[in-house]
């Protein structure tokens, strides 16, 4: 941070007096005030880092005895720079004024500063900051985890109609594809998030502590890529390795699942429960959907002529939503509108677009069946992080306006307006268990600073402030309405894996490491056991969305088999330990019926004689 402080129009420290000199001001004093303040060195004892804060008042840099040395702008600058630091670090830092004051006093002559203003500020600032630092260090909770859910950026239209004047314009891009403006929107959002969460997030993406998930749609995947480029700028420093040049941005893994099975983020994925409730909502004779259909008959008639809609085909509310899509894109990109799209048509289509999201997730049984799976995932992730079972600090979900709408509806804070492009919901978990929700829904600026488009704090109506995770989890679990398992869902899982790292099976006569293994030839090593536990945890995580695996071992629906070899039996034990962390697996050898019990509830691992074992080719 480089802060250049000059003259201020209003200076609370000098009460408007810029002409009075300071008695007893020496050249040594002036050199102190005209010097930049160096940043603290990373290594104690080493030379300071390059200057981070520099104050330049009118008289502070003068060596003439005729001018005062402590210009009022200097002290205003100390507090102004402190405000900047505090804003950038989200109020979760040790304020710097005491360090600045101590540094200055340490460089002055031993006697106490002579100027009354300087003496007062040195005393009060140092004392106040000492008290504040102690309070902050003892009471301020730290940020443990951030979950981001955002809508994609500007895209080409999803729908079109016969008299669409811009069909050819968008044809090279393809339907519903991210545009350059959408890339910019998310790159700026990423830079904003970097500034907001710089103290939590490292400079580079860490796959063990972060996870990015997107719907299986081009525009959401590309939006996530652009966002991550702004969020992790050091991923985008081009590197050259010999003749081969790496990509401008080093890739970050973005996970997806097929659209029909995406119950987490894709609000249009098959869900019989939602389909039934939504149909009931639309068919209510005196309901809002039917009422709007009657109220917007005029708009249907205007749109039928203007769009060239085929005669005889219905043109109701659902069709008007499709017509509103390309027109919204044209307006966003500043394209000339057809003559039939006048102010009344624009107002009517915009109202209908907002009503679509207000209706679709207006009731618990509507948003619960759509967003319930995601809420269960988020609550589980936060509980694991707070309990120390997870080290994840960042969860990113790149999705759609419908996803953001359902998410905010589940929290009871949705404003019934379609989330704009690159809108972002931020869910923060703190070390004291508090959960805070913010929503950034203004994305028209190109400025990614913290002061541009600040997020709105969302007060969750059913969770008393401070909203603790335990209270939030209890309320959210009441809102989940799981979709029943469909015929296309995963119904059976078969896993075949090799054992983990082992010791050598046999050794040559002159093996220099013979004494290291002794009687442990062919046995699973501790590193191998860790491999298998990690594999079990990976399988648990990978298949979490399909919900095919129960939380605890169930002998009625699962079975474990191993060859009759120590290292494979031990590997299976370690794998099950990672798969079912709440239980510790034991062994049950079918050959003799014996079992080896361990702490927790044992999980049987079956095996057979080596000579007749179909898993043992030799």
Rounded distance between C-alpha atoms, residue 521 and residue 511, angstroms: 13
With vertex at residue 148, the alpha carbon angle to CA 144 and CA 153, rounded to the nearest 5 degrees, is 155
Tell me the CA distances in angstroms from 596 to 265, 504, 599, one per residue in order: 43, 25, 10
State the pLDDT at residue 618.
Answer: 66
**CATH 3.40.50.1240 domain residues, the chain:** 142-237+245-270+359-487
Separation of CA 346 from chain center: 34
pLDDT tens-digit series, residues 442-474: 754 445 555 556 788 999 999 988 999 999 999
Write phi, then psi, for 4 (nearest 5 degrees).
Answer: -100, 110
Tens-place pLDDT, residues 295-329: 999 999 999 999 999 888 889 999 999 999 999 99
| Eight-state DSSP code of residue 180 | H
In three-state form (DSSP H/G/I as H, E/B as E, the rest C), the secondary structure along 232-256 is CHHHHCCCEECCEECCCCCCCCCEC
How many CA atoms does the CB half-sphere of 24 hold within 13 Å? Answer: 9
HSE at residue 174, side-chain half, CA atoms within 13 A, is 6
Residue 601: its pLDDT value, please? 63
CB atoms within 10 A of CB 557: 10
Both structure tokens of 101? 């004051």
For 230-280, the pLDDT digits (tens) are: 999 887 764 444 444 445 678 899 999 998 888 899 998 888 888 888 999
Nearest CA among 290, 190, 264 for reference residue 232:
190
Q: What is the pTM of this model?
A: 0.60
User: Which tokens go with 577?
Assistant: 């330990």
Q: Give yes or no for a contact between 423 and 440, defined as CB atoms under 8 angstroms apart.
A: yes
User: How buried is residue 374: exposed, middle or buried, by Cβ count under 10 Å (0-12/13-18/19+)?
Assistant: buried
Structure tokens at 580: 């079912």
Distance CA 149, CA 169 (A): 31
Question: Which tokens sit at 356?
Answer: 């679509």
pLDDT of residue 250: 80
| Residue (of 267, 221, 192, 155) closest to 443 by Cα position | 192
Mean pLDDT of the chain: 76
Highest mean pLDDT among 90-104, 323-337, 514-528: 323-337
E strand or H helix that includes residue 147: strand 143-151
d(CA 568, CA 520): 14
Confidence of residue 144 (pLDDT cuts 50, 70, 90): very high
The order of strands in the sheet holding 394-399 is 210-214, 394-399, 143-151, 424-430, 435-440, 456-458
Residue 156 gets the label, from left (phi > 0), alpha (psi -120 to 50) or beta, of beta
The alpha carbons of the chain give a radius of gyration, in whole angstroms, of: 32
Closest by CA to 440, choosing from 217, 151, 222, is 151
- What is the CATH number assigned to the segment(s) 142-237+245-270+359-487? 3.40.50.1240
Enumerate the active-site residues: 152, 401
577 vs 10, which has greater pLDDT? 577
Residue the block writes with tokens 């700026």: 188
pLDDT at site 553: 80
Residue 87 pLDDT > 50: no
Rounded distance between C-alpha atoms, residue 480 and residue 114, angstroms: 68
State residue 16 phi and psi, 5-degree precision: 85, -5
pLDDT digit string, tens, across residues 590-614: 333 333 334 456 788 888 787 777 6
Say whether 611 sits in a helix, a strand or coil: helix
């Amino acid at each position: 941070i480089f802060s250049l402080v000059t003259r201020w129009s209003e200076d609370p420290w000098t009460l408007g007096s810029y002409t009075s000199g300071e008695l007893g001001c020496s050249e040594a004093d002036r050199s102190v005030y005209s010097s930049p303040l160096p940043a603290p060195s990373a290594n104690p004892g080493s030379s300071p880092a390059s200057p981070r804060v520099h104050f330049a008042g009118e008289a502070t840099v003068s060596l003439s005895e005729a001018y005062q040395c402590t210009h009022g702008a200097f002290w205003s600058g100390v507090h102004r720079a402190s405000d900047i630091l505090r804003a950038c670090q989200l109020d979760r830092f040790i304020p710097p004024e005491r360090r600045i004051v101590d540094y200055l006093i340490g460089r002055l002559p031993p006697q106490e500063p002579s100027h009354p203003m300087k003496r007062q500020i040195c005393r009060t600032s140092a004392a106040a900051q000492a008290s504040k630092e102690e309070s902050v260090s003892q009471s301020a909770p730290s940020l443990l985890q951030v979950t981001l859910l955002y809508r994609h950026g500007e895209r080409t239209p999803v729908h079109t109609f016969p008299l669409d004047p811009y069909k050819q314009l968008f044809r090279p891009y393809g339907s519903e594809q991210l545009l350059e403006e959408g890339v910019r929107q998310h790159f700026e959002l990423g830079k904003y998030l970097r500034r907001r969460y710089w103290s939590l997030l490292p400079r580079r993406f860490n796959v063990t502590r972060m996870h990015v998930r997107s719907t299986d749609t081009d525009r959401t995947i590309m939006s996530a890529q652009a966002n991550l480029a702004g969020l992790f700028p050091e991923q985008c420093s081009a590197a050259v390795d010999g003749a081969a040049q790496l990509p401008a941005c080093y890739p970050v893994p973005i996970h997806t699942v097929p659209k029909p099975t995406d119950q987490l983020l894709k609000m249009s994925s098959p869900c019989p429960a939602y389909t039934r409730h939504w149909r009931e909502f639309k068919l209510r004779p005196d309901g809002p959907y039917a009422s709007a259909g009657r109220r917007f008959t005029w708009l249907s008639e205007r749109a039928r002529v203007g769009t060239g809609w085929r005669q005889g085909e219905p043109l109701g509310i659902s069709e008007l939503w499709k017509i509103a899509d390309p027109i919204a894109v044209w307006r966003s990109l500043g394209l000339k509108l057809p003559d039939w799209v006048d102010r009344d048509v624009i107002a009517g289509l915009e109202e209908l677009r907002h009503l679509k999201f207000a209706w679709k997730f207006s009731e618990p049984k509507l948003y619960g069946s759509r967003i319930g799976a995601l809420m269960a995932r988020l609550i589980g992730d936060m509980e694991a992080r707070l309990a120390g079972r997870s080290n994840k600090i960042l969860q990113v979900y790149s999705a759609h306006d419908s996803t953001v709408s359902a998410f905010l509806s589940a929290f009871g804070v949705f404003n019934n307006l379609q989330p704009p492009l690159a809108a972002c919901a931020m869910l923060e978990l703190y070390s004291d268990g508090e959960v805070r929700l913010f929503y950034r829904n203004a994305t028209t600026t190109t400025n990614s600073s913290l002061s541009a488009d600040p997020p709105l704090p969302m007060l969750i109506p059913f969770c008393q402030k401070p909203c603790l995770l335990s209270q939030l989890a209890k309320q959210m679990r009441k809102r989940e309405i799981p979709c029943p398992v469909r015929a296309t869902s995963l119904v059976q899982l078969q896993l075949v894996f090799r054992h983990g790292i082992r010791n050598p099976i046999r050794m040559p006569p002159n093996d220099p490491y013979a004494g290291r293994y002794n009687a442990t030839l062919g046995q699973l090593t501790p590193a191998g056991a860790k491999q298998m536990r990690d594999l079990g945890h990976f399988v648990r995580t990978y298949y979490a969305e399909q919900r095919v695996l129960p939380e605890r071992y169930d002998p009625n629906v699962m079975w474990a088999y191993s060859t009759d070899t120590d290292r494979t039996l031990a590997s299976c034990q370690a794998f099950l330990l990672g798969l079912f962390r709440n239980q510790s697996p034991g062994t049950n050898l079918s050959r003799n019926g014996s079992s080896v019990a361990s702490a927790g509830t044992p999980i049987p691992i079956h095996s057979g004689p080596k000579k007749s074992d179909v898993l043992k080719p030799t």
